[in-house]
Chains A and B, each alone.
Chain A
Amino acid sequence: MEAVKVMSLKKQYGNQVVLNDIEFSVMKGEIFGLIGVNGAGKTTTLECIEGLRKADQGSIAFSGTLGVQLQSSSLPSQIKVKEALQLFSVWNGRSFRPDSVTVFGMDGLLERKYQHLSIGQKRRLHLALALLSDPDILILDEPTAGLDIDGRIEIHQIIKNLKKQGKTVILSSHDLMEIEDLCDRVAILSNGRLVLLSESRDFADKNNRQVKVRAKFSEPISLSETEESVYDSMSDSVIIATDHLEDAMITLLEMAKQHHVRLTDFIIERDGVEQMFLDIIRKEKSS
Chain B
Amino acid sequence: MKALIFSILLQWKLNFRSKEILVHFYVVPLIFYVFIGSIFISINPQLTETIVASMTVFGVSMGGILGSPYPLVEFFASDCKKSYHVQNIPLSIQLISHCISGFIHLSVLSIILWFTAPLLFDAVLPTNLPVYFSSLALLILASLGIGMIFGLFFKSASKMSMATQIVFLPSLMLSGIMFPADMLPAVLQNVGKFFPASLGFSAMTSDHFTYEQLLLLLIFVSASLISMIRIRKIHAEE
Q: What is the chain B residue whose CB lies nearest that of A73?
A: B83
Task: Confirm or deny: B78 has a beta carbon within 8 angstroms of a beta carbon on chain A.
Answer: yes
Q: Is the beta-carbon distance between B3 and A90 smaller than 8 angstroms?
A: yes
Tell me whether A76 and B75 are in contact in the complex, defined as CB-CB below 8 angstroms, given that A52-B85, A91-B88, A129-B87 are known contacts: yes
Contacts of A126 in B (CB 8 A): 83
Q: Is the beta-carbon distance between A77 and B74 smaller than 8 angstroms?
A: yes
Interface string of B76-101 (1 = CB under 8 A from A): 00111011011111000000000000
Q: Is the beta-carbon distance between A73 and B6 smaller than 8 angstroms?
A: no
From B10-18, B35-43, B112-120, B179-187, give the one contacting chain A.
B10-18
Q: Is the beta-carbon distance between A87 and B80 smaller than 8 angstroms?
A: no
Q: What is the number of contacts between chain A and chain B, taking CB atoms within 8 Å?
A: 65
Complex CA gap A52/B91 in Å reads: 13
Task: Confirm or deny: B29 has a beta carbon within 8 angstroms of a beta carbon on chain A.
Answer: no
The secondary structure that dominates the B interface is: helix
Q: Is the beta-carbon distance between B79 and A83 smaller than 8 angstroms?
A: no
Contacts of B3 in A (CB 8 A): 90-91
Task: Confirm or deny: A251 has a beta carbon within 8 angstroms of a beta carbon on chain B.
Answer: no
Q: Is the beta-carbon distance between B86 and A91 smaller than 8 angstroms?
A: no
Q: What is the chain A residue whose CB lies nearest that of B86?
A: A68
* CB contact list, A143-181 vs B, under 8 A: none
Q: Is the beta-carbon distance between B89 and A88 smaller than 8 angstroms?
A: yes
Please give the number of chain A residues whose Cβ is less than 8 angstroms from any Cβ of chain B in the complex.
Answer: 28
Q: What is the chain A residue whose CB lies nearest that of B83?
A: A73
Task: Confirm or deny: B159 has a beta carbon within 8 angstroms of a beta carbon on chain A.
Answer: no
Task: Confirm or deny: B107 has a beta carbon within 8 angstroms of a beta carbon on chain A.
Answer: no
Task: Confirm or deny: B164 has a beta carbon within 8 angstroms of a beta carbon on chain A.
Answer: no
Least CB distance, B71 to chain A, in whole angstroms: 7
Task: Confirm or deny: A92 has a beta carbon within 8 angstroms of a beta carbon on chain B.
Answer: yes
Contacts of B80 in A (CB 8 A): 74-76
Q: Is the beta-carbon distance between A70 and B17 smaller than 8 angstroms?
A: no
Q: What is the chain A residue whose CB lies nearest that of B19?
A: A78
Q: Is the beta-carbon distance between B82 and A90 smaller than 8 angstroms?
A: no
Interface string of A53-84 (1 = CB under 8 A from B): 10000000000000010101111111100010
Contacts of A50 in B (CB 8 A): 86
Interface string of A118-149 (1 = CB under 8 A from B): 00000000100110110000000000000000
Least CB distance, A227 to chain B, in whole angstroms: 57
Task: Confirm or deny: A86 has a beta carbon within 8 angstroms of a beta carbon on chain B.
Answer: yes
Most-contacted residue by chain A among B75, B83, B85, B88 (CB, 10 A) = B83
User: Which B residues are closer than 8 A to A by beta carbons?
Assistant: 2-3, 6-7, 10, 13-14, 17-18, 71, 74-75, 78-80, 82-83, 85-89, 238
Cross-chain pairs A/B with CB under 8 angstroms, 27 sampled: A50-B86, A52-B85, A53-B238, A68-B86, A70-B79, A72-B82, A73-B79, A74-B79, A74-B80, A75-B80, A76-B71, A76-B74, A77-B74, A78-B17, A83-B10, A86-B6, A87-B89, A88-B87, A88-B89, A91-B3, A91-B7, A91-B87, A91-B88, A92-B88, A126-B83, A129-B83, A132-B87
User: Which A residues are closer than 8 A to B by beta carbons?
Assistant: 47, 50-53, 68, 70, 72-79, 83, 86-88, 90-92, 113, 126, 129-130, 132-133
